[in-house]
Structure 1
Amino acid sequence: MMFSPSRLSTLQRMVHEQLSTASTPAARSRAQRFLDEEVIASPGFGDCPFDAGSVWEGTDSRARDRYHHGFLFFGDWVKTILADDTTQVRAARAAVGIVETWTKLHGDQAHASDMAYHDETTAQRLLSLIAIRPAIAAVLPREDAEVLAPLMSSTAALLARQEFHAGSNNHGMFQDLALLYWSIVADNPHSNHAEYYSLAMSRLRRYFEASFTADGVHVENAPTYHLMVSRQAKNVMDLAVAAEHTDSAFYSNLIRRAERYATHALMPNGTYPPISDTQQNEIAKSGARGVFPGPEFLYATTQGLRGKPPQEKTLVLPDSGYAIYRSAWGDPDATYAFFSAAYNADYHKHSDDLSFFLHSGGIDLLSESGPYSYDYKDPFSKYAYSQFAHNSLVVDGTSLPRTDGRADRVSLRAVEERADGFTVVGTNGRYDDVVHERTVEVREANGKPLFDLTDEIISTSQHSYQLLWNLGTEVSVVLHGQGFELFRDGLKVMDLMVDADVPVTLALREGVEKPRPLGWRFPKFGQAVPAKVVTVSFNGQNTRVRTKIRLSDFSYTERLSPADPAWSRHSGEVPVNYLFRPGASARGREHLAVVFSAIHQPGDFTYNYKATVDEVDISALYILDDFGDQGAYYHSDHRSETIYRSVQALILGIANKHGIEASKLVAVGSSKGGTAALIHGMTLPFGRIIVGAPQTRIGTFVAGPHPNILQFMAGGTSEQDIEHLNGIVQRAALTAGSIPRTSILVGANDHHLRGHVEPLLDDMASKGLPRPAVTVLPDLSHADIGSVFRFFLAANLEQFVSGKGEEALPYIISPGKSPGSVRLKVYAPAGTRLAYRLYLDAEVVAKRGYADRQVVVFEDLAPGRYRIRVYLQAPDGTEPTAFTTRWVGLRKV
């Protein structure tokens, strides 16, 4: 005998306390279903008819077959129908019948189904029988001796065989736990007691020594498996202490080290992140507190209600490959980040190397799919294991395998650890021709976390790359050219902006099933929920991508809302955000103004002149230049013209969709918007261009105040890069089939006149191209252009829609201050003489002769509709021109 009777009794009691059984009403109901209907019910697999043992025929679900062949459903029986005097005998006979049927069908291993003798399933079967046997033996001792005991004894003998042992993994651990428990609870006398006990304890010691890193983290890559294995280590420790085994101290030290990671890995909501095979269950309800007795783990599991908080908010474990940050302990809305550069074992490993997970405000922001099932053939399972389900790098459209024996090529290096964050570098060299290094810097500013990631990709050849950002299911997204914003219930919660040294394309996917799954979340085993994923795609050899993630002090000014149905997204070579508004009348809907925006502050992308254009009866297309961090002139990303082509495809698509002829398209904008209007207006078959103070030498202009735009558009800031951008407008003019009638407004005090407009005129004249009509206004600087251009734009749009095609000056017409008066102010070039004719409907009712006046007031007018014909006499003596204002109404006083 190994132990004294009293010690053996104590150990046997501890074994049965450690076995997993349920006593909830739901467990009772599931167990009762078998007595009433011979149905094996489970929360994970639904109802499965026993059907004389056909339930054990192989299915397409390894997890379900494991559940049935391992008799795991007996966990519902022990404390429910087997503990109830009214059902005890029936339940015991039913249980014996199940075991007897299984033994007849699968007792011969050579002819059993695949999962019947799966390594870990065999162990679970013995554990289930150990748990249920006392209740059966109490009422059916003969059946126990004839049916249960022989199967348990033969199963133990099988588990003891070295060739059947699964090895140094958690499957082998369960085999040895079952063997250990059997050595303690088996009937006396039993000749193998001491042998099984010694074998199990020595195997378990070797396993636990090898299965935790030097940081105290279990190697099977998932926090829940760390917790599960730690629980089993604690069980063995308790038995070792009770048995006064020499391994007691080893297990005590192991649990102490494992507790630190288990505490920090917990998210603020009391669950573990869906890393690798982790299923997100509330840890406080799982009995985990009995595994780790420390006050810090208690604080984490109770979300600050009990225990005490850890002193550190960060945990960096280079040997294990994890770096964890949280903004605060005990706050369920705290920010939590988990970076994984871990390949510690093949078991439960996903292709999640260098994946970054972010949770804040009680929801996942940057998430992962979580596991779907253990059936490696299922498309969803393959997806869950693949890189596409994680926030990392995919090369040439093919995921790395789940495992490949290249664990030594994945590592984490700590650069700096601080009280408010860390800087770490993860390396993934598992690719054949690529090394991916991801630097993650976490720091706080004014108590708010900031996240900056740098992806260095090194290769000897060209590849196509994708960085993926899987989003939480509770957020909506607004996508931009180089980033995106996340919203929850209309409130912005995060944005992400990318800065790459190559052209990139962002796309949004959700719930894709073919040709392969993309954009899915698996909250529970077998449950699939569509989830958004943003792909950042680019080509190159050695490339660098910087990613800025902000939860406050955002990179993007909030302009667009995902709840706003007015905004649309064109899926071209690169997606383009736009707003389309149809004209009010049939004539208005026949014409389209394409409006390009000027430069705003970094991250602030919006439209210009919407109020002005909306006052004119014309369809309008407002296009966002939300590329880079401050726009790209609707043209270039590191010299790639995908933006330019995508914008043109959008314009043509809208025009074709609404049946608008090319001659009735007008390109408009000022400053950068004017430049874009020239570029696209000249190269597409537009009928008209109306611009204010454009930059025709883009490189020279942005080199000083906006080197970020120069860098983004040209890929550098050298003189060659400046000259490349300087030639964009000129190249557009030279390649145009024909130049539409173009009107340019610029101020005499604006450096754009001599630096940009006059050089354009000279270039066009030298090439024999039509000269644009240029209106130069005195005392007008570039800062003032918008305030006057809106009048210039409205006036010339009205001319364009009316079909008269006259060149209009900017003007303001309105009822005068005194009753019965009309006031007109015209912004005219210096030296221009103006004459006026006032019309009441079609009748001329007043005139003013040529003079240098730019403001005229007509008084003592009857109620009605008035407009003014304006005549312009230039100082150079050229033929006078004219244009007509819009109508203005006077009411009866």
Structure 2
Amino acid sequence: MVNTKKALTALDEEKIQKLMRILPKSRNKDPLAAAKNIMGNKYPLPPFGVIRYPKGILWNEDKSRSFLRLIHGHTFLGCLTDAYEETKEEQYKDKAIGLVKDWIQKNPYPNGSNEMAFHDETTAMRLQYWLRLYILAKDKLASSDEQLIVENMAKTANLLSQDDFHSTNTNHGMFQDISLLAYAMYFEEADDESDHYRDIALKRLVDYFTYVYTEEGVHKEHSPSYHFLVSNYLNKLVVWLKDLSPNHAKFFVDLFKKTEKYATYIIRPDGLFPPLCDTESKPVVNSSYRSLYKSEEFLYSVHQGKAGRMPLEKDAVFKDSGYAIFRSGWERKEKETYVLFSAAYHTSYHKHSDDLNMHIYSNGDIITEAGPNGYNYKDKFTKYAYSSFGHNTLIVDGRGLPRVDHQHEKVYIKDYQLTEDYSEATGVNERYSGVTHTRNVRYNKQLEHITVRDQVASEDTHQYKLFWHVAPDLEVHVRDQIVELFRNNNKVAELEITSTTDVNIRAVREQTVPHVQGWVFPKMESKKPATVLELDFSSGKESVEVVTEFRLANYKIAARDQGPFELESHYQSMNGVKYHFVPAADEKLQDKLVIVFSALANKYHYVYNYMKTLEEVGANKLFILDDFGEQGSYYLGKNRNHVIETSVSSLIQYIMSKHGFTHKNVMTVGSSKGGYAALYYGIKYHFGQVIAGAPQSKLGDFLIDQAEHVNIAEYISGSDNVNKEYLNQILFNLLDQPVDSAPDIRLYVGTWDYHHKSHVLPLYHQLKDRGYKVTLDLEDRANHKDLKGYFPLYLGRTISEILDVQYVENVPFKIKRALLKDNESYFIARCDTEGHGNLEYAYYIYKDDKIVHKTSYIEEEIFRYKPRAKGEYRCRIFVRNQYKQKAVRDTNSVFI
């Protein structure tokens, strides 16, 4: 039995105020406004918003554990007690007492109305809110209400003291012991058990803090916000226990000092917690932890350099604790780069299946993870959040690791090295049965490149996945083994994946079946779509290595100034394919489709061809990008697997099916590499027309001997077995197909182009010999470089002829003025032009509307002519460029 009269005088005012500092207050920014809402039965419960209970709180409702934790923990009392303390208005006290009485009546021990009624942490939280309410309002309580709340606090304290109820070696147990200690201190003369409770609580707390921190002073629960939370309580205990137990206080003081370095370095350059395990990514400066430590370095980290003093070291590695934190520096504040690598499994609480996880921040989130979604473990999104699928880690045979399996010693940092130019750390995960995953993270600070080297070793064959969770505000474009990341149309990062085996890269976003993937949780129970890169690969009885290089600068694919992807759509089949589809502008051509394949370009420069050339062609147009490998794959495949062709063909079939195009109404076009692809797809898939400008036909000869593109040859045929004859025969092997449904083929090439004799003529003759309908058009004295000028004109004219539409040629120059001037004994014909190109001029002299003299094309803009008879003279001037585009204009007339 508790003697309430003794409780009134048990502590002096100073000790009561110290006790009050550890008891919880309102969780809302405006406690008074929140309390007024509660008076109207509207309960502000962050992060769940305002919940209405017009007929009283439903203690037994079916809601998430996270929500019920707040309800049964009586967190709403913080608002009411704050309001009562500030205003002294008894309505707030009365409302609080009424809610406590209602809960007591409807939640008898041990089952209560809900599983969270007597949950370990919830019970501890509730006792602290009750104790604060009692301390503030005890003088105004009716004796029956006082007796009820004191008796139930005593029952709760007794429950918290029981070993079988205690959550040993967890922060929940810490809350239980702090609550028990607070009760024991306040009722030290009123409750005969208070000394016993105090001794139990203090012993447990010393045991807990000894257990839960590593020797480096890092909280073991692998969740940064809990390091702050527990360290905050540790600090409160330091202040609190100086009077109560000085011997114990020294232990807490020494331990608290060790916790500061991790707290300083774990904060990101933008001042937020990293979303690791059960930590929400929130600004530390807005939390109660902003003044947890008094050092200048901690203040600098919290306030992003606006206060305090910059730490001397950029990097910090806590090897035994499982954290490596690399920084580009501190001076540029939120623009700095921050790399967090974690390899730790010390305890079960708040642990996610995130072994060897990694985060990258560089002037904004780059690589993140799902984050926490609360504690309703029945919810599929919560399951995803704590599973391996929600983190940047390894999956084996479609399964991740369990959240808890107590194999603590099998995840660790093996080694690390810190220098001025680079920092690196190596972690190991041996929790998978028979599989060892080793990850090395190396940050090159000069290049701003982060290289992640994943080695997976097993004696058995397995299918693996590696995940990279991209920040939700980034636009992701997968280009074969290179992935570009954009924020607001500005390129912020580039990933390149290389491996000792084939790796398939897939971008997943907003997926719910067959399993949840592609989500982040900015706050608990609040989801947002995000892109996850899935790296699929397999391995036999040998180790496999996958290297992911994150380039934050010095990109291989140059960043573009304009918005990058207005013209790109993404089609996902066995591979992802980029394309741009333009629907028909001419109603008469709605059943016609022109497919355009791209030519060779420089390394890592992927472009669509002939968009401008075909702009006025009113048919449907499908432009397909070849952004595979360093310079494309000829739309074929990698290592002879033709997966790319399968995906491109699938895209074409999708467009044809969607719009109802028949094969005979499909035309494939392209030049050089694009010409090869136009022939390959046009012949193989029996389309109606092919227009190919200076195409290669013998790929092996071209790539290996003539153009020195061995990189492309290796990509298509496999670097271990580059076979020239295999490459040479890919196109020719198609020619044995039946020709009764073969396309009409037009080949175009310059007579000075080495493709003429090496590639076009051999192909032309074989096509003719096998019965294909093929024509060969030659451009006199044109070489392969001239193709970029000649072929667009040929293409525009030829397509217009096939489609039977008028061709409007875009001439890139015009005649501004044509003048004929009488200079006594001779005429001067002059032509002024504007535009570009190497121009030539031809002059036709007319006398009385009949030609009396004409020249061939010359380079002179001025022509002199001596008339031989009287009459009316004028000159017609012809201007052409190197691609034989023409402009014509007549001069004025002159009378002799």
TM-score range, shorter chain: 0.7 to 0.9
Do residues 17 (structure 1) and 21 (structure 2) align?
yes
Do residues 73 (structure 1) and 76 (structure 2) align?
yes
Pairwise CA distance, 1:75: 1.6
TM-score calculated relative to the size of structure 2: 0.83
Q: Alpha-carbon deviations, 1:112-168, whole Å to 9, x = none?
A: 532221111111122112222211213227346512222222211221111111111
Q: Confirm or deny: 8 A CA contact 1:313 1:419 kept in the other structure.
A: no
Match of 1:453 in 2: 452
Match of 1:572 in 2: 573
Pairwise CA distance, 1:406: 3.3
Structure 1's 236 and 321: CA in aligned 2 closer, same or farther, altered over 3 A? same
Take 1:585 and 1:508, find their aligned partners in 2: how far apart are those partners? 36
SS of aligned partner of 1:632: coil
Match of 2:123 in 1: 122
Alignment of 1:734-753 (within 5 A): 734-735=736-737, 739-746=742-749, 751-753=754-756
Alignment of 1:749-788 (within 5 A): 751-753=754-756, 756-757=759-760, 760=763, 768=770, 770=772, 773=775, 781-788=783-790
Alignment of 1:553-564 (within 5 A): 553-558=554-559
Match of 2:32 in 1: 28
Match of 1:831 in 2: none
Take 2:655 and 2:873, find their aligned partners in 1: how far apart are those partners? 45
Structure 1's 316 and 730: CA in aligned 2 closer, same or farther, altered over 3 A? farther
SS of aligned partner of 2:492: strand
Do residues 789 (structure 1) and 788 (structure 2) align?
no
Q: Partner letter of residue 343 of structure 2?
A: A
Q: Partner letter of residue 221 of structure 2?
A: E
Match of 2:251 in 1: 250
Match of 2:671 in 1: 670
Do residues 468 (structure 1) and 463 (structure 2) align?
no
Q: Confirm or deny: 8 A CA contact 1:106 1:112 kept in the other structure.
A: yes
SS of aligned partner of 1:486: strand
Q: Confirm or deny: 8 A CA contact 1:453 1:548 kept in the other structure.
A: yes
Q: Confirm or deny: 8 A CA contact 1:8 1:184 kept in the other structure.
A: no
SS of aligned partner of 2:18: helix
Take 2:796 and 2:713, find their aligned partners in 1: how far apart are those partners? 32
Q: Confirm or deny: 8 A CA contact 2:426 2:441 kept in the other structure.
A: yes
Structure 1's 47 and 648: CA in aligned 2 closer, same or farther, altered over 3 A? closer
Q: Partner letter of residue 138 of structure 2?
A: A
Take 2:136 and 2:207, find their aligned partners in 1: how far apart are those partners? 34
Q: Confirm or deny: 8 A CA contact 1:501 1:715 kept in the other structure.
A: no
| Greater mean alpha carbon deviation, residues 8-17 or residues 230-239 | 8-17
Do residues 45 (structure 1) and 48 (structure 2) align?
yes
Q: Confirm or deny: 8 A CA contact 1:587 1:801 kept in the other structure.
A: no
Match of 2:212 in 1: 211
Take 1:155 and 1:707, find their aligned partners in 2: how far apart are those partners? 77
Take 2:75 and 2:392, find their aligned partners in 1: how far apart are those partners? 35
SS of aligned partner of 1:467: strand
Match of 2:340 in 1: 338
Pairwise CA distance, 1:632: 1.2
Take 1:616 and 1:892, find their aligned partners in 2: how far apart are those partners? 34
Take 1:227 and 1:405, find their aligned partners in 2: how far apart are those partners? 24
Alignment of 1:694-709 (within 5 A): 694-703=695-704, 705-709=708-712
Q: Confirm or deny: 8 A CA contact 1:96 1:147 kept in the other structure.
A: no
Match of 1:164 in 2: 165
Q: Alpha-carbon deviations, 1:294-330, whole Å to 9, x = none?
A: 2111101111111111122222233222222233325
Match of 1:57 in 2: 60
Pairwise CA distance, 1:776: 6.4
Alignment of 1:862-881 (within 5 A): none
Q: Alpha-carbon deviations, 1:537-571, whole Å to 9, x = none?
A: 44554543332322333232346976754432223
Match of 2:283 in 1: 282
Do residues 194 (structure 1) and 195 (structure 2) align?
yes
Pairwise CA distance, 1:46: 4.0
Structure 1's 673 and 53: CA in aligned 2 closer, same or farther, altered over 3 A? same
Match of 1:871 in 2: none
Take 1:560 and 1:381, find their aligned partners in 2: how far apart are those partners? 40
Structure 1's 15 and 763: CA in aligned 2 closer, same or farther, altered over 3 A? farther
Alignment of 1:263-302 (within 5 A): 263-302=264-303
Q: Alpha-carbon deviations, 1:787-840, whole Å to 9, x = none?
A: 443344344434433499xxxxxx99998996899x9xxxxxxxxxxxxxx9xx
SS of aligned partner of 2:438: strand
Q: Confirm or deny: 8 A CA contact 2:10 2:186 kept in the other structure.
A: no
Take 1:459 and 1:772, find their aligned partners in 2: how far apart are those partners? 55
Match of 1:876 in 2: none
Structure 1's 524 and 739: CA in aligned 2 closer, same or farther, altered over 3 A? same
Q: Partner letter of residue 231 of structure 2?
A: S
Q: Confirm or deny: 8 A CA contact 1:625 1:631 kept in the other structure.
A: yes
SS of aligned partner of 1:240: helix
Alignment of 1:289-328 (within 5 A): 289-328=290-329
Q: Alpha-carbon deviations, 1:246-288, whole Å to 9, x = none?
A: 2334323322222111111111221101111112232112231
Take 2:742 and 2:327, find their aligned partners in 1: how far apart are those partners? 59
Pairwise CA distance, 1:654: 3.0
Structure 1's 715 and 217: CA in aligned 2 closer, same or farther, altered over 3 A? farther
SS of aligned partner of 1:613: coil
SS of aligned partner of 1:499: strand
SS of aligned partner of 1:246: helix
Alignment of 1:515-594 (within 5 A): 515-541=514-540, 543-558=544-559, 565-582=566-583, 584-586=585-587, 589-594=590-595
Take 2:96 and 2:421, find their aligned partners in 1: how far apart are those partners? 57
TM-score calculated relative to the size of structure 1: 0.83
Gaps of 5+ in 2: 1-8, 821-828, 832-843, 845-849, 866-871
Q: Alpha-carbon deviations, 1:339-379, whole Å to 9, x = none?
A: 22232221112222233322232x32222222122110112
Pairwise CA distance, 1:108: 2.9
Pairwise CA distance, 1:605: 0.6
Q: Alpha-carbon deviations, 1:373-426, whole Å to 9, x = none?
A: 211011221121223322333344444332233333323333432234422233
Task: Count residues in correspondence.
Answer: 839
Structure 1's 638 and 324: CA in aligned 2 closer, same or farther, altered over 3 A? farther
| Greater mean alpha carbon deviation, residues 151-160 or residues 320-329 | 320-329
Q: Confirm or deny: 8 A CA contact 2:48 2:67 kept in the other structure.
A: yes
Pairwise CA distance, 1:853: 11
Q: Alpha-carbon deviations, 1:581-622, whole Å to 9, x = none?
A: 345545555544322222222221102233333365654322
Pairwise CA distance, 1:84: 2.2
Pairwise CA distance, 1:213: 2.3
Alignment of 1:352-367 (within 5 A): 352-361=354-363, 363-367=364-368
| Greater mean alpha carbon deviation, residues 242-251 or residues 736-745 | 736-745
Match of 2:729 in 1: 727
Structure 1's 813 and 225: CA in aligned 2 closer, same or farther, altered over 3 A? closer
SS of aligned partner of 1:78: helix
Pairwise CA distance, 1:210: 1.3
Match of 2:632 in 1: 631
Take 2:405 and 2:874, find their aligned partners in 1: how far apart are those partners? 90
Gaps of 5+ in 1: 805-810, 824-837, 839-844, 869-884
| Greater mean alpha carbon deviation, residues 163-172 or residues 609-618 | 609-618
Q: Percent identity?
A: 31
Take 2:717 and 2:343, find their aligned partners in 1: how far apart are those partners? 34
SS of aligned partner of 2:246: coil
Pairwise CA distance, 1:450: 1.4
Take 1:863 and 1:587, find their aligned partners in 2: how far apart are those partners? 42
Take 1:358 and 1:309, find their aligned partners in 2: how far apart are those partners? 21
Structure 1's 615 and 176: CA in aligned 2 closer, same or farther, altered over 3 A? same
Structure 1's 65 and 659: CA in aligned 2 closer, same or farther, altered over 3 A? closer
Pairwise CA distance, 1:854: 13
